[in-house]
Amino acid sequence: MRCRINLSSRLPVWLIALCLLWDCLSAAGMPPQQTIGRIVSKHVLIRLPSEREWLGQETISDLESCYVFMDKTTGGSLPARVLVNISWDQPVCSVHPGDAAVTIGMDNPAAAANSRKYLLHHAGKAMARLGLLELSKGGADRAENRFLLEGMTEILACEYEHSSRSLSAAWARCHLMNRMEALSLSALASWDRFSGGREDQRAASPGITFLLTCREVSNRDRLLKLFEGLRGKSLAESLNAAVKSNAAALENMWLEKVRTYRVSEDSAGATDEDVPKLERTDMEPQAGVPGQGLQIRVTIRDRSGDLFPGTIFLEDGESGPVLSAQPQPDAARRDVYFSLPVPKDRNPGRYEYRLIAVDETGNVRIWLGAYMVGSE
């Protein structure tokens, strides 16, 4: 039977009957690759292709524990049962508050590299999002507040996993992003423009670091009061009421911490084989010319599949400009490039740069390189 039911969870009779009916219909008329399995615990109902049921069986107890943690953390804001749709046809994850459901898109290189780890992390984020949206009565989904929602979902997911590496790496991302384009609360309020439609850790990093700054000023519980306050108040009003500090003061404190953060050394698991590894760099032309550009092409091996061009940075010298990588056209996903401008007043000689990669797991890798500048 494709529908796996835990009778000890005391499911309603109608739900058991619905599961059995679905299996009968699936067996009668659906192609094998479209048959659907169901795995149930007290608060979680997993729906996934029957040929992938092993993954549901492996993770159902963890998802149940995650539900309990997220529900408690968000003040009992989760629905009595959450439907977790696991789809290999979708590349992104989404939440559906009206249906008490989340969808975990597994059509992703990181999911292919470690499906169990990917599923648990993103299901945790999705449950946190469901709870925070209910706690704020949708206020956290307003454009000016989205950076808080994205940041808090990552914080809660990492707290459940007892992992601080991703949160620490958010400071590195923010420092480099701030040097590229200044961070501010007003910039984050234009969420679509700032995030580019992403829901990754690059987009979440400003929210993570801002909320961690707020936590230093007050405490962990006040952050949940902040989300409660978003029900009918502006961000500034909610910060003042929950954190007991005005938005301008908090912004200044946050940005000072971001600016003074030093990305000075690698931060990665010593025995982790999945950390990014630099394979090669190429330059064109071989020597830069003052007033013209220099293209630096980079190949990075990323076995875990969770390193993206937007979180690969090039720092030109200690205080020079910071660039974000661009995907190499018509090349493998791991190939990126930087278009490095050479100032007109740059003297001929050898100049150093740092290549910095920060993946979604929170690994920070730094490689040193150099380029030559000739005469005009």
pLDDT tops 60 at residue 36: yes
Give percent of the chain with pLDDT exceeding 90. 67
Collapsed DSSP state (helix, strand, coil) of residue 112: helix
Indicate the pLDDT class of residue 17, thresholds 50, 70 and 90: very low
pLDDT tops 50 at residue 106: yes
Separation CA 231–CA 242 (nearest Å): 13
Domain spanning 277-373, CATH architecture: Sandwich (2.60)
Separation CA 210–CA 261 (nearest Å): 14
Separation CA 194–CA 309 (nearest Å): 16
Separation CA 352–CA 371 (nearest Å): 6
Q: Which residues contact 369 (CB under 8 A, 6 or more apart)?
A: 281, 296, 352, 353, 354, 355
pLDDT for res 21: 47
CB 39 within 8 A of CB 63: no
Q: Which class in CATH covers the domain with range 1-135? A: alpha beta
pTM score, whole prediction = 0.86
pLDDT tops 80 at residue 270: no
- Mean per-residue pLDDT, 13-25: 46
pLDDT tops 90 at residue 20: no
The distance from CA 255 to its chain's CA centroid, rounded to whole angstroms, is 21
pLDDT for res 164: 81
Task: Count the Cβ atoms, other than its own, within 10 Å of residue 81.
Answer: 18
CB 152 within 8 A of CB 128: yes
Q: Considering only CA atoms, which of 246, 223, 72, 248 is closest in space to residue 152?
A: 223
Q: Please tell me the least confidently modeled range out of 30-44, 204-218, 282-296.
A: 30-44
Sign of CA dihedral 78, 83, 87, 90: negative
Domain ranges of the chain: 1-135, 140-262, 277-373
Q: Considering only CA atoms, which of 292, 266, 278 is closest in space to residue 374?
A: 292
233 DSSP 8-state letter: S
Tell me the residue type at 151.
G
